[in-house]
Structure 1
Amino acid sequence: MNADYVLLTQTIRHWIAVRQEEESIITSLFEPRHIPANDFFLQAGDVCRYVGFVTKGLLRYYILDDGIEHTYDFSPEQHFTCNYESFLTKTPSTRFIQAIEDTSLLIISYDNLQLLYDRLREGQKFGRLVAEELFVGMLQKLTSFYKETAEERYDTLLRSFPDLQERVPQYVIASYVGIKPQSLSRIRAQRAGKQY
């Protein structure tokens, strides 16, 4: 089995047991896709038709508000990516999902995802557990935005994505934290023990 599919199967096994004979079902339902840096997995106005699994690279999620980008999440390696609101309702997305780096994914369509749920012995359980994890993560991010200071949100980001600072432009991190790039520079300088 191709290394990308091995990674996908290992990740699915994080949630459910996968029998050896079920591995071929997984490989038959996902297909590879490559997105060059700065290109899009999804643009606002388009319907999200796939769930992707990132095998290499990094994606960011953002919305546009009066021409200003507001980053609200990331999908690095071994994470799934999708605008589930658009995917499940088949309505146009209000969000963008953009590759920050050259990104390789394995993608699955809505119909094939339903087949995955049906054909894997624990497929329905897999779908439920992933949905629960996404829901909890969304609530945590929402709570964080209203209850945490910028410094606390920055710390949470670094705990969640330890190598992000080296991979993402500072303005994107500042947007995620909800502050201006200059304020992020000040926080980073204070952390480094420097006078600002």
Structure 2
Amino acid sequence: MTIHALIDRLIAREGGYVDHPADRGGATNWGITTAVARANGWQGAIRDLPRMRAAEIYERVYWRGPGFDRIATRAPVLAGELFDTGVNMGTATAIGFLQRALNALNRGQADYPDLAADGAVGARTLAALDAFLARRGKAGEAVLVKAIDALQGERYVTLAERRPANEAFLYGWLAGRVS
């Protein structure tokens, strides 16, 4: 699936303008918060953010910026999952989940050196991913997606347990995926 298709599915799921009283992030449009829109040059009301501008932010900030485009050339389904996780939890968290999963699946560093879970896609993370995929193939990509889903789900449940107002969002968080 291309980034444009991923963004289209994400925007369809997020919908237009939303201002839920329990959402600490405040009002959103197309899933983009006011803070993110402002950080990316939008000065108008979030309600007026054009869909095309939201799509540009998603591609630049949540796809190319963290390097998910480089992961997509190796493992497109994994890149889609990282994009989804990055939009919802931050790109550094998504990458950290990948790095943790690669470390845990590394058989005691038999396949590649363990990674620092630094939340950045760099040469070492890509080399570890390449080595993992060379050993495990397409089935390995599916296992990484499952591991990231598990880490993401655990984080969502913890957020709802720690802040009961987040229970309003838990079902949607767990049900929603773009990949």
TM-score, normalization by structure 2: 0.23
* Bigger helix fraction: 2
* Bigger strand fraction: 1
Higher Rg: 1
Which structure is richer in relative contact order (CA contacts within 8 A, separation 6 or more)? 1
